[in-house]
C-alpha cells in the first residue's frame, strides 16, 4: 500500500459490489421484485465494465464479495459498495476511519486484512456536541446587531422584525451541518504537501489524527459543512481542482486552475426526477419507476439503508483520477474537464440516483505511484 498523493498514477484499487438479482427472489410482488432485480443486474454489469476499464488502464482491481442469501425485511445488510467510506491509505499504512455496520465492515476487512483502527478514538472525541446542527463560528461571523444570540437561534426562541427574520432564514441552510459526526475517509485529502481534513468546528480532529498517523506532510483543517468532501470537490492534479465554485474559493483558493460547478445539480432539471422526488424527499430515484407506488413504498419502508440524499449530490464532482491528466467520469457532459486538457474515460453508472454514490465513492485507492 502506498498513497502519498491522491492524484499520482493509480496502480491498485478496491471496487465495490452490490446484491445479485436473485437476492430479491423472496419479494413476492413482481411490481417490486422485477425493478429491484433490474437494478441489481445493471449495477453488476456497470461494475464489471468499470473493473474492465480500470484493468485496461493498468490498475489492479480487488473486489469484495457480494452478499449471499435472499432479502429478509428483518435482517438489514449493507452491501460493500461505497468502499471509500470507511478506509483510507495514508503513506504506507491503511487506516479504518469509520464503520458501516457489521456485514459491510467484515466483508471489506476480510479483503484488506491489515489496517489500523482509529474509529474508537474518533468516536470518543465526538462528545458534548451542540444539540442543533449549526455552526457557531459562522453564525457569529455574519450575525447582525439585530440578530438573536446563537443559542436562541438554535432553539428558535426569538422575536425579530419580518425583515430580520427573512435575513436570518436566508443564511440558515449555509449554517447547517449535514451531520455532526467524526470525519470519515472521504473527508481526508492527500496533496503534495498537505493532508487536509474536512470536519466540524466542535472537535479538533486534525490534531487528533496527526497524533496517530506518521507523516512529514502538513495537516490542515477545512470546514465545508457537507457530509463527504468528495461531493464538494476533487483535486485533479497539483494545479487543478474540480468542484463547487464557492467551496473551492473557501477551502482551496491557491489552486491555479479552478473548474467551478454550481450547487444546482443537473438532475433537478430532469422532469421525471422532479415529479418523483416529492414522494421520497429528494433522496432517491429509479428512472422509469416514478409511477410505481408499490415499489416506492417498499423502498421507503424496507430499503431506507441503501439510499442517500441524491438531490444534494453532484455526480460531476465525484470522479476518479487515473493520473494527473486522465479522469474516470460518469457525467453526462465532460466538456468542463476536457477543455482544460484532461482525457476522460466515460463509465456507465446507471443507478447512481438510487445508490447515491459516484465513481470516487465506489472505489478505494490502495496504491498510487
Is 25 in contact with 33 (CB distance < 8 Å)?
Answer: yes
What residues does 2 pair with on adjacent strands? 367
Q: How far apart are CA 299 and CA 295, in angstroms?
A: 6
If one counts every other C-beta atom within 10 angstroms of the C-beta of residue 132, the result is 16
C-alpha cell at 239: 494545479
Residue 240 pLDDT: 94
3-state secondary structure at position 355: helix
Q: What distance in Å separates the CA atoms of residue 217 and residue 214, rounded to the nearest whole number? A: 9
Q: Which residues of the chain have pLDDT under 70?
A: 264-269
For residue 240, give the nearest of 255, 229, 254 by alpha carbon: 255
Q: Which of 292, 240, 333 is nearest to 36 (CA)?
A: 292
Q: What is the pLDDT of residues 155-178, one digit of tens each?
A: 999 999 999 999 999 999 889 988
Domain ranges of the chain: 10-133+177-368, 134-176
**What are the angstrom distances between the C-alpha of 6 and each of 88, 222, 291?**
11, 17, 42
- Residue 266 pLDDT: 64
| Pairwise CA distance, residues 244 & 257, whole Å | 13
Q: Half-sphere exposure (CA, 13 Å, Cβ side) for 254?
A: 4
b/e sequence 49-62, b meaning 16+ C-beta within 10 Å = ebbebbeeeebebe
Cβ within 8 Å of residue 245, ≥6 positions away: 258, 260, 261, 262
Residue 298's nearest CA partner among 307, 311, 287, 308 is 307
pLDDT, position 269: 67
Q: What is the pLDDT of residue 314?
A: 81
Comparing CA positions, the residue from 221, 223, 261 lying closest to residue 241 is: 261
Judged on CB neighbours under 10 Å (0-12, 13-18, 19+), 162 is: exposed
The pLDDT, as a whole number, for residue 268 is 66
Query: 215 near 191, Cβ under 8 Å?
Result: no
Return the closest-CA partner of residue 102 out of 84, 131, 75, 128: 75
Task: Dig out the grid coordinates for 210 from the structure.
Answer: 496527526
Q: For position 146, what pLDDT does the model report? A: 94
Is residue 104 within 8 Å of residue 82, measured between CB atoms?
A: no
* CATH code given to domain 10-133+177-368: 3.75.10.10
Amino acid at each position: 500500500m502506498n498513497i502519498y498523493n491522491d492524484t499520482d498514477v493509480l496502480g491498485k484499487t478496491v471496487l465495490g459490489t452490490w446484491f445479485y438479482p436473485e437476492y430479491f427472489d423472496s419479494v413476492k410482488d413482481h411490481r417490486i421484485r422485477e425493478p429491484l432485480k433490474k437494478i441489481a443486474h445493471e449495477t453488476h454489469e456497470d461494475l464489471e465494465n468499470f473493473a474492465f476499464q480500470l484493468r485496461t488502464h493498468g490498475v489492479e482491481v480487488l473486489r469484495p464479495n457480494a452478499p449471499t442469501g435472499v432479502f429478509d425485511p428483518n435482517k438489514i445488510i449493507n452491501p460493500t459498495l461505497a468502499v471509500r467510506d470507511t478506509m483510507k491509505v495514508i503513506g504506507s499504512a491503511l487506516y479504518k476511519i469509520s464503520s458501516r455496520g457489521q456485514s459491510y465492515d467484515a466483508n471489506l476487512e476480510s479483503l484488506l486484512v491489515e489496517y489500523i483502527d482509529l474509529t474508537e478514538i474518533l468516536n470518543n472525541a465526538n462528545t458534548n456536541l451542540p444539540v442543533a446542527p449549526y455552526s457557531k463560528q459562522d453564525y457569529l461571523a455574519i450575525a447582525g446587531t439585530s440578530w438573536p444570540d446563537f443559542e436562541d437561534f438554535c432553539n428558535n426562541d426569538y422575536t425579530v422584525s419580518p425583515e430580520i427574520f427573512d435575513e436570518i432564514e436566508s443564511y440558515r441552510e449555509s449554517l447547517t451541518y449535514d451531520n455532526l459526526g467524526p470525519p470519515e475517509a472521504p473527508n481526508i485529502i492527500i496533496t503534495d504537501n498537505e493532508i487536509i481534513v474536512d470536519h466540524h468546528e466542535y472537535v479538533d480532529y486534525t490534531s487528533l489524527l496527526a497524533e496517530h498517523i506518521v507523516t512529514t506532510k502538513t495537516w490542515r483543517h477545512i470546514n465545508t459543512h457537507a457530509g463527504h468532501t468528495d461531493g464538494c470537490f476533487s483535486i485533479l492534479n497539483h494545479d487543478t481542482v474540480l468542484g463547487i465554485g464557492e467551496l473551492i474559493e473557501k477551502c482551496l483558493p491557491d489552486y491555479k486552475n479552478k473548474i467551478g460547478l454550481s450547487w444546482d445539480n443537473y438532475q433537478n432539471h430532469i422532469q421525471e426526477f422532479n415529479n418523483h422526488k416529492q414522494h421520497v424527499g429528494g433522496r432517491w430515484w429509479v428512472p422509469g419507476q416514478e409511477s410505481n407506488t408499490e415499489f416506492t413504498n417498499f423502498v421507503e419502508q424496507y430499503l431506507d439503508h441503501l439510499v442517500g440524499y441524491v438531490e444534494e449530490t453532484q455526480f460531476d464532482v465525484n470522479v476518479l483520477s487515473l493520473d494527473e491528466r486522465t479522469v474516470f467520469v460518469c457525467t453526462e457532459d465532460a466538456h468542463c474537464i476536457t477543455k482544460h486538457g484532461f482525457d476522460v474515460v466515460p463509465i456507465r453508472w446507471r443507478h447512481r440516483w438510487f445508490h447515491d454514490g459516484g465513481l470516487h465513492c465506489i472505489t478505494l485507492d490502495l496504491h498510487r505511484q
